[in-house]
Amino acid sequence: MPAIPTGVYSVSQLSPADNTFSITFIVSSEGVFLQDANVTISDETISTNENGSVTFSGFESGSNINYLVEKENYEDYSGSISNILQNITEEVEMV
């Protein structure tokens, strides 16, 4: 194992430059991925792709978010994620 160089390091030298996390939503119904479902967090809405997936990024450690998933002919689905400390995959089953 290589030796760790000695010296004085600041926290920014030891931490990644971008210490934020992402949330990937996977939206489906009865085992079928739903394309063009709208996922909203705060004022940002993004539609799911052909795999029922969409990713939001830039959440700081400890963040709390509320989200809403909407798709025509399905009931709206709302939820929340608390204390974000890592990248998250949130599976949403629409009915």
Quote the CA–CA distance of 71 and 54 in Å, as a whole number. Answer: 14
Greater pLDDT, 22 or 3: 22
pTM score of the predicted model? 0.80
Predicted local distance difference test score (pLDDT) of residue 55: 97
> Among 95, 81, 87, 90, which Cα is nearest to 48's?
90
Q: What is the pLDDT of residue 13?
A: 40
pLDDT tens digits along 10-63 = 343 433 446 899 999 999 999 999 999 999 999 999 999 999 999 999 999 999
